[in-house]
Chain A
Amino acid sequence: MMNDLQFLTWVRGPGLDIAIGIFLLGVLWRLFEIYSLGRKPDLSAPRHASGASGLHTVFRRSLPPPGMLKRSPVSYIGGYVFHFGLAVVVFLFAPHILLITNLTGLSWPGLPSQFVDLAAVVTMAAMVVVLADRINKPAKRFLSTFEDWFTWAVTFLPVLTGWMAVQHLLLPYTLMLAIHILSVEILLVVLPFTKLFHAFTLFGSRWYNGRVNGHKGVPV
């Protein structure tokens, strides 16, 4: 039986290597599997219009189209808050930057830890609200499968355990930190093979959609 320190050493060493390996190979494989299917060229005569292209849609689709914010406020606002919150927590927390620096040599300034702390709490709150909306809204509940609940948990746990580790809650710091890192590793392994992969494919999807509309001269 491993003690806490041995557990932490494993998740920091071989565990992390395995997870990053599966993540990188998984992402490359999935991208190949998807985009190598190709598509037929469009032979219809294009109609040019300014502001209509794949790239326009990649950016523009981040904003709700007219009338939609009112129809699905929780999806939009909750979605913004938890995506931005995740980005802040993952990429602007000093210890995370240190880890990335050790792995890649890249470095950038972080935010004060009290701020990241707040961001973690807000992120978790937004995720809980979004989860409640999934249970509450008929169309969302109807669409939901095991994967939706599972990926929610897999995304939520790293935030929760990271926050608890920093706050020294419930478990000894070493053990909580080890659990936190393990939960991130699970997230990395799961990401390429679940709907979490939208983090990569959404750019392609928006681009395809925008390109078809750009071909027709419809600014989308």
Chain B
Amino acid sequence: MSATLEKGIRVLKEVIDAPIASYFNSCVHCGICAEACLFYTETGDPKYTPIHKLEPLRRIYEQEYTLLGRLKKMAGLSKPVTDGELDEWQELVYNSCTLCGRCSAVCPVGNDIVYMVRKFREGMSASGHAPEGIKGAVNRTITVGSPMNVKLPAVQAQMKHVEEDYGIPIPLDAEGAEYMVMLSSMEIMNFPEYLAAVAKIMHQAGKTWTLCSTAFEATNAGIQIGNSDLARVIVSRIVEGAEKLKVKTVISPECGHAYTALRWEGANLIGRPFAFEVKHIIEVLGEFREQGLLRTEGFETDRLTFHDPCQLVRRGGVIQQPRTLMNMVAKNFVEMPDAGYMNWCCSGGGGASAIEEGEELRLQAFKKKKSQFDAVKPDRVVTACANCRIVLEESLEHYQMDLPVIGLTEMIAEHIPDQAPQAATKS
């Protein structure tokens, strides 16, 4: 299926629903969404005003779904959406939007702007105007199974390392396990500590868990590029794996968009509710802690702060758990200004970090995050998203800031006593 303008416009017509119509009719051009967007606040360029990023979609709405718009179109008074225009909008819809959702959180008339950007990307992708970087990531996920070309042997090699280092077996394809643990390629390649951390945590909690040989990759570039057909293929692998292994809960890794893809979009993509639950690893840790299954010893004493991944917190509702977990193992945990629900994005979410030509802009937008760090001057930053982590690391390096970034799950696991008494025998 080749991408064409006609196809893109057809898709855009299809994605317009009552909420989008209501949103476009409610906008009063107050510009408050701009003040919430780090691409506007850090560049001062008004073209990055979130609602403006939707202008072609708005015109299609007006021309197709309003009486006056249709009359104007018939009279030849309306400006049609063209390939050239969509091409120009690529930068606005992808490079300068991380789907962080701050605009949707502040709009006084209640417009869910990021919902519309997500839908607009469907048409951009169908008309062939998605950035090459994300296209590549999607293609690799579809053909190889991972956006970073990670295959099962790489996962198995890691499993073996962890088993040797910690003496904890890593189950693969264990039918009937309670939890199926997903990974992101970023973790397999760059942050192998994650798998070891999960193994230690599960071991202490005495829970049965497994990896799945046909579905280990949780990230879904199909969501980021805005192609529901491809996103469905990627989610279906996980659903099939979870159903085959009859697990109760699938655990999304420390990755924001993987969580959104699986937790909120997954069932809608495949067209039926899941037979299993989906939880982010931080939610699972929160539950273990409440049930007394997560016990730690000792504290980090340096100054730590927590970077909220947008998809986990603002768009995902896991707001309190990371803070409770931080306080479990950190004596000197400080919050940045705007932390929690109104936190600022790492500047590379929503697929933006995969767009090479967007790097300069991304680094400029990062100044917002930098100012948050400067305000509390932490010794280390903790987060719960591998993509945030790599983007933060790269951006901090660019600004020559010596500020290590670590994952919350690993930090918790480091405080689990080695000879933890097993809870497995109790029920």
Contact residues on A (Cβ < 8 Å of other chain), bracket: 35 or more
Do A198 and B32 have beta carbons less than 8 Å apart? no
User: A213 to chain B: which residues have CB within 8 Å?
Assistant: 317
Q: Contacts A37-B18, A75-B31, A195-B27; is A209 near B110 (CB within 8 Å)?
A: yes
Please tell me if B263 contacts chain A, counting CB pairs below 8 Å: yes
Do B21 and A44 have beta carbons less than 8 Å apart? no
Do A138 and B46 have beta carbons less than 8 Å apart? yes
Please tell me if A108 contacts chain B, counting CB pairs below 8 Å: no
**Interface 9-mer from A64-72, A111-119, A167-175:** A64-72
User: A40 to chain B: which residues have CB within 8 Å?
Assistant: 17, 268
Partner of A209, one of B40, B104, B267: B104
CA distance A217 to B17 in the complex (A): 23
Do B30 and A140 have beta carbons less than 8 Å apart? yes
Partner of B46, one of A139, A148, A193: A139
Chain A: which residue is nearest B48 at the CB level? A139
Do B67 and A33 have beta carbons less than 8 Å apart? yes
CA distance A197 to B25 in the complex (A): 7
CA distance A61 to B23 in the complex (A): 14
| Smallest beta-carbon distance B26→chain A, Å | 4
CA distance A61 to B108 in the complex (A): 6
Q: Contacts A30-B25, A34-B21, A67-B338; is A42 near B268 (CB within 8 Å)?
A: yes
Do A143 and B52 have beta carbons less than 8 Å apart? yes
Please tell me if B16 contacts chain A, counting CB pairs below 8 Å: yes
Do A195 and B29 have beta carbons less than 8 Å apart? yes
User: A29 to chain B: which residues have CB within 8 Å?
Assistant: 67
Please tell me if A90 contacts chain B, counting CB pairs below 8 Å: no
Partner of A193, one of B20, B35, B68: B68
Please tell me if A107 contacts chain B, counting CB pairs below 8 Å: no
Do A208 and B66 have beta carbons less than 8 Å apart? no
A179-197 with Cβ < 8 A to chain B: 193, 195, 197
| Smallest beta-carbon distance B215→chain A, Å | 18
CA distance A47 to B16 in the complex (A): 26
| Smallest beta-carbon distance B21→chain A, Å | 4
Number of interface residues of B (CB under 8 A): 62
| Smallest beta-carbon distance A142→chain B, Å | 3
CA distance A38 to B65 in the complex (A): 12
Partner of A202, one of B19, B26, B47, B266: B26
Do B268 and A58 have beta carbons less than 8 Å apart? no
Do B277 and A43 have beta carbons less than 8 Å apart? no
Partner of B52, one of A43, A142, A207: A142
CA distance A105 to B30 in the complex (A): 37
| Smallest beta-carbon distance A36→chain B, Å | 7
Do B18 and A39 have beta carbons less than 8 Å apart? yes
Chain B: which residue is nearest A210 at the CB level? B110
| Smallest beta-carbon distance B81→chain A, Å | 17
Do A201 and B65 have beta carbons less than 8 Å apart? no
User: A37 to chain B: which residues have CB within 8 Å?
Assistant: 16-18, 20-21, 65
CA distance A187 to B126 in the complex (A): 41
CA distance A115 to B261 in the complex (A): 55
User: A52 to chain B: which residues have CB within 8 Å?
Assistant: 317
Please tell me if B271 contacts chain A, counting CB pairs below 8 Å: yes
Please tell me if A153 contacts chain B, counting CB pairs below 8 Å: no
Chain B: which residue is nearest A62 at the CB level? B108
Please tell me if A49 contacts chain B, counting CB pairs below 8 Å: yes
Please tell me if B264 contacts chain A, counting CB pairs below 8 Å: yes
User: B111 to chain A: which residues have CB within 8 Å?
Assistant: 205, 209
| Smallest beta-carbon distance A30→chain B, Å | 7
User: A145 to chain B: which residues have CB within 8 Å?
Assistant: 29
CA distance A30 to B29 in the complex (A): 20
CA distance A12 to B29 in the complex (A): 33
CA distance A110 to B40 in the complex (A): 45
Please tell me if B36 contacts chain A, counting CB pairs below 8 Å: yes
| Smallest beta-carbon distance A106→chain B, Å | 27
User: A57 to chain B: which residues have CB within 8 Å?
Assistant: 110
User: A58 to chain B: which residues have CB within 8 Å?
Assistant: 110
Do B25 and A44 have beta carbons less than 8 Å apart? no
Do A216 and B17 have beta carbons less than 8 Å apart? no
User: B41 to chain A: which residues have CB within 8 Å?
Assistant: 71
CA distance A217 to B319 in the complex (A): 10
Q: Contacts A45-B277, A68-B35; is A206 near B17 (CB within 8 Å)?
A: no
Please tell me if B142 contacts chain A, counting CB pairs below 8 Å: no
Partner of B115, one of A61, A141, A212: A212
| Smallest beta-carbon distance B22→chain A, Å | 4
B32-61 with Cβ < 8 A to chain A: 32, 34-36, 40-41, 44, 46-47, 49, 51-52
Partner of B19, one of A30, A47, A208: A208
Please tell me if A220 contacts chain B, counting CB pairs below 8 Å: yes
Q: Contacts A34-B25, A36-B18, A139-B46; is A208 near B110 (CB within 8 Å)?
A: yes
User: A148 to chain B: which residues have CB within 8 Å?
Assistant: 29
Please tell me if A101 contacts chain B, counting CB pairs below 8 Å: no
Do A35 and B18 have beta carbons less than 8 Å apart? yes
User: B266 to chain A: which residues have CB within 8 Å?
Assistant: 44
A-B contact pairs, 23 of them (CB 8 A): A34-B22, A35-B18, A37-B16, A37-B18, A37-B21, A43-B271, A44-B265, A44-B266, A44-B274, A65-B105, A71-B41, A75-B30, A139-B46, A140-B31, A141-B46, A143-B49, A143-B51, A195-B27, A195-B28, A205-B112, A208-B19, A208-B22, A212-B112
Q: List 10 additional contacts besides A37-B20, A66-B342, A68-B32; criterion CB under 8 Å.
A: A33-B66, A35-B21, A47-B317, A57-B110, A197-B26, A205-B23, A205-B26, A205-B110, A209-B115, A217-B317
| 9 A-B pairs with least C-beta separation | A206-B110, A142-B46, A139-B34, A139-B31, A43-B267, A217-B317, A71-B35, A140-B31, A205-B110
- Measuring CB to CB, which residues of chain B are less than 8 angstroms from any residue of chain A? 16-23, 25-32, 34-36, 40-41, 44, 46-47, 49, 51-52, 65-68, 104-112, 115, 263-268, 271-274, 277-278, 314-317, 319, 337-338, 341-342
